[in-house]
Amino acid sequence: MTTESNKVVAMTNAETTNPDFPEYDWNEMEKSFILSSFFWGYFVTQFPGGYLCRRFGAKLTMFVSTLGSALFALLIPLTVDWGGWQIYCGIRVCQGLFQGLLFPCIHAHLAAWCPVQERNRLGALANTGIECGTVLAMFLGGIIAASSMGWPGISYVSCALGVAWCILWLILSANTPSESKFISASELAYIESSKNAERNVDDNSTRPARIPVPWKAIMASWPFWALLVARSAQSWGFSTLQAEIPSYMNGVLGMDMKSNAFFSALPYFVMWCMSYVYLILADVLLQRKLLSLNALRKTFNSLAFWVPAIGLIAVGFVSENQKTLAIALMTANVGINAGSTIGSALNTIDLSPNHAGILMGIVNTSANIIPILTPLLVGLIVKNEDDRTEWQIVFVISALVFGLGNLFFIVFGSTQLQPWDDENYLKSAPNKPNKTNEEDCPTSSVHLSKRY
């Protein structure tokens, strides 16, 4: 998405790129359609992504997802001359459809490969790639566009990197540790014994070839709904931080953040750095048993939601002569929000390693509808971009969503392995109540402190 922002700027403003390449006279609405069209496809395939991962495995599904998106990137410079912004939108929709498969697969893959006591660390480490990619794209996109390759070079480099990753993925990856050609016997035993200990089963227990999804139990689960609400609230608040604050700073404070590569990348660079701060802090707190996993998730999620909620309101009161403070607040808000990865994003694996991909598909479908809806709400409220009062209403609403979403997660969220994760849940107890406390949940008999 970030490379696309750079590309659209370069394609519509020859002064920011190599002038030897075509420039297009697209208005703001047409550019907005291009940038938002990715999400039209992206949210559609989140839920199918979880199913396809279960049906064909993470290896094939992630390969198809990445390769399809990479090849469509190559089509942009080849077709935009005759198809205009409309064909560009169509290509972005297709890229969104392919990339929507990715995140459900990532969570299912983490659940299959991560030893229980290392899920927090490895899951958070995997997610830092998002911020790393965002920062690199912001800086390198402009450099590539200004080089001899021009703005088409952004598509060529994106495609080449995607194809290279796919080759390495086919060679090195496996759906499960037992299928891997590169894993040692001791490492395999360590991973499998860790997962078996969590479920309180022995190594020789039989597992069904394909585990049916307990839809009724999932939909009746309060911890699942707490996760869904938290991730949707995160999407609402972060879309405000990411898209609306720069517009506010441009309209009210007279700062064009989007045209300044340093100011645009700074919040994401801080977010990337803060991801490692949270990761190290989580390891220390868990290893020294200062916090249980449940307490850690809710503490980090509270920091990631409630501090930016206060910061959003504060930004609305910054005056025009306090531009440095405005940038500092925006950067701090985005950076502190990095704690939501450990706070709630990885909770799918806590609740049900067997159904993590399905859970992520449902949760991410809801979360990715939000970035489509929030600009519409802003459009209804903000009639004059220079009116601070109208923007303050937008920020207060986002702060309330952040605050109430996290409160719901604190009250109803859980890191307890859910009874419906059991491979034989539907077969052995189809009408079993969906209880989550330890004494009623035989599959959750291992205390959290033993898991970390």
Share of the chain above pLDDT 70, in %: 88
Highest mean pLDDT pick, 105-114, 143-152, 288-297, 367-376: 288-297
pLDDT value, residue 121: 85
CA 292 to chain centroid, in Å, comes to: 24
- Show the tokens assigned to 232: 């949707």
**What pLDDT band is residue 434 in, cutting at 50, 70 and 90?**
very low
Is 51 within 8 Å of 212 (Cβ atoms)? Answer: no
Is 111 within 8 Å of 175 (Cβ atoms)? Answer: no
Mean pLDDT taken over the chain = 84
pLDDT value, residue 87: 95
Stronger pLDDT, 49 or 261, i.e. the higher one: 49
Stronger pLDDT, 40 or 97, i.e. the higher one: 97
Taking each helix axis from N to C end, the angle separating 293-315 and 388-412, rounded to the nearest 10 degrees, works out to 170
Vertex 326: Cα angle to 325 and 329 (nearest 5): 85
Is 351 within 8 Å of 223 (Cβ atoms)? Answer: yes
Q: Which of 50-59, 188-197, 307-316, 331-340 has the lowest mean pLDDT?
A: 188-197
Stronger pLDDT, 341 or 138, i.e. the higher one: 341
Give the pLDDT mean for 390-409. Answer: 94
Q: Which of 72-76, 361-365, 378-382 has the lowest mean pLDDT?
A: 378-382
**What pLDDT band is residue 256 in, cutting at 50, 70 and 90?**
low
- Show the tokens assigned to 2: 């970030």
* pLDDT above 60 (res 223): yes
* Tens digits of residue pLDDT in 64-119: 999 999 999 999 999 999 999 999 999 999 999 999 999 889 988 988 898 888 88
> Which of 35, 46, 91, 28 is closest to 372 using CA atoms?
35
CATH number of 1-180: 1.20.1250.20
- Show the tokens assigned to 390: 């109208």
Highest mean pLDDT pick, 151-160, 190-199, 402-411: 402-411
pLDDT value, residue 446: 35
> Which of 132, 95, 98 is closest to 274 using CA atoms?
132
Q: Does the domain made of 218-416 have the CATH classification 1.10.443.10?
A: no
pLDDT value, residue 259: 59
Long-range own/partner contacts, residues 94-97 (CB < 8 A, 24 or more apart): 94/41, 94/68, 95/38, 95/41, 95/68, 95/69, 96/37, 96/38, 96/39, 96/40, 96/41, 96/42, 96/43, 96/44, 96/45, 97/41, 97/42, 97/44, 97/45, 97/68
* pLDDT above 90 (res 339): yes
**What pLDDT band is residue 448 in, cutting at 50, 70 and 90?**
very low
* pLDDT above 50 (res 310): yes
Give the pLDDT mean for 247-271. Answer: 75
Sequence ranges of the chain with CATH classification 1.20.1250.20: 1-180, 218-416
DSSP track, 168-197:
HHHHH--SSGGG-SS--HHHHHHHHHHHHH
